[in-house]
């Protein structure tokens, strides 16, 4: 009697979202640390993770970067870089007071929000800020203006609970890495309750966040499962998981290819793959290789937008 052969493994159709991975702000931040190491030599200190990705952080550590959470952990006489998420004004002021050489790797699109906050306060308005409590970008933005002049909202329900009168002088700003759909609902609620509220001329959610969410929307409904490469503390990566799930597609956040379990592919004919703005393309290729352990992979890249944004480096690094 012949033994029954196992059924043939079907090829795995892999839809890879584009744009994905590094944005211009992340590219710039990493290059700042690398150029600082070339110019000053190791160690170069970095306050907070330069971007929210362990692979990137570990690669920079291997080159001589030292990551700390607070400025008082930085010894005298060494350069320090501030992360892409932005820092309160008090941080560079304290660095200057100590005579430290410091470099600001804040994403220019986050810096734009900081300047908008200053202008709204100068105009006599109280700021309602849409964001996630405790996120470094939120902490950095709050630190641009006097205490008590900015209030955080995270949900439509938070808008309903605001204590301001209907005619109060208000402005709204948002974190750059939020859900496009959620933020639109919160802003709509703000405008209904406070019709005179001032807002930015263009939305604060950055182009990369918007593009990566749109890229997921373009493929999610054709997929049985969506994998998002990103860190658990990466706001923009978490939003990509939510986008897929809201379209009815199960989604998992992973940091490395080694986290994938074979059983995840049971019943999956079409798999979607994307990467948050802090995840390098090397991790995308690592995930594709990991999938190849179990199935023949047929890749297809689905392009929904082209990105050509480039940000200038700090003048200290280009002289």
* Block mean pLDDT (10 aa), the chain, length 319: 58 98 97 97 96 96 97 96 97 97 97 97 98 97 98 98 97 96 97 97 89 98 98 96 98 98 96 97 98 97 96 89
The span from the CA of 277 to the CA of 22, in Å, is: 4
Contacts of residue 17, defined as CB under 8 A and 6 or more positions apart, other chains included, come to 212, 215, 216, 218, 219, 272, 273, 274, 302, 304
Structure confidence at residue 79 (pLDDT): 96
**Which of the four CATH numbers 3.40.1710.10, 3.40.1010.20, 3.40.50.1820, 3.40.47.10 does domain 109-193 have?**
3.40.1010.20
Intrachain domains 12-22+207-303 and 109-193 with the same fold: yes
Residue holding tokens 């006097």?
Answer: 146
What pLDDT digit, counting tens, does each position of 56-68 carry?
A: 999 999 999 999 9
Catalytic residue, from 70, 137, 245, 307: name it.
137
Assign domain 24-108 to its CATH architecture.
3-Layer(aba) Sandwich (3.40)
- Domain range list for the chain: 12-22+207-303, 24-108, 109-193
Q: What is the per-residue pLDDT across 186-198, written as a single tens digit (0 to 9) for each?
A: 999 999 999 999 9
Cis-peptide, bond into residue 43, ω within 30° of zero:
yes
137 is catalytic: yes
81: β partners? 46, 103
Looking at residue 167, its pLDDT comes to: 95
Contact 131, 152 (CB under 8 A): yes
250, 226 Cβ separation under 8 angstroms = yes
Give the architecture (CATH level 2) of 12-22+207-303.
3-Layer(aba) Sandwich (3.40)
Separation CA 305–CA 256 (nearest Å):
26
- 99 Cβ neighbours under 8 A, 6+ residues apart: 76
Angle between helices 180-193 and 207-219 (to 10 degrees): 120
């Amino acid at each position: 009697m012949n033994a029954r052969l196992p059924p043939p493994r079907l090829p795995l159709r892999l839809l890879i979202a584009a744009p994905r991975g590094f944005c211009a702000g992340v590219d710039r931040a990493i290059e700042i640390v690398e150029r600082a190491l070339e110019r000053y030599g190791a160690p170069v200190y970095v306050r907070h993770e330069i971007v929210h990705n362990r692979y990137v952080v570990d690669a920079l550590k291997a080159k001589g970067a030292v990551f700390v959470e607070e400025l008082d952990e930085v010894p005298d006489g060494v350069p320090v870089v501030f992360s892409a998420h932005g820092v309160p004004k008090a941080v560079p002021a304290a660095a200057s007071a100590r005579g430290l050489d410091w470099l600001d790797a804040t994403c220019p699109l986050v810096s734009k929000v900081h300047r908008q906050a200053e202008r709204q306060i100068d105009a006599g308005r109280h700021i309602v800020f849409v964001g996630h409590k405790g996120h470094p970008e939120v902490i950095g933005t709050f630190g641009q203006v006097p205490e008590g002049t900015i209030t955080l909202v995270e949900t439509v329900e938070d808008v309903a609970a605001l204590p301001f009168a209907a005619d109060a002088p208000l402005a709204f700003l948002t974190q750059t890495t939020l859900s496009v759909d959620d933020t639109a609902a919160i802003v709509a609620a703000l405008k209904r309750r406070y019709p005179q509220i001032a807002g930015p001329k263009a939305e604060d959610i950055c182009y990369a966040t918007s593009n990566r969410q749109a890229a997921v929307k373009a493929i999610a409904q054709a997929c049985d499962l969506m994998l998002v490469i990103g860190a658990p503390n990466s706001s923009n990566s978490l939003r990509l998981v939510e986008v897929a799930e809201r379209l009815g597609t199960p989604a998992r956040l992973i940091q490395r290819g080694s986290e994938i379990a074979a059983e995840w592919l049971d019943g999956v004919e079409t798999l979607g793959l994307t990467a948050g703005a802090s995840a390098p393309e090397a991790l995308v290729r690592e995930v594709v290789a990991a999938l190849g352990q179990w199935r023949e992979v047929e890749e297809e890249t689905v392009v929904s937008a082209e990105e050509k944004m480039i940000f200038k480096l700090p003048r200290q690094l280009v002289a």
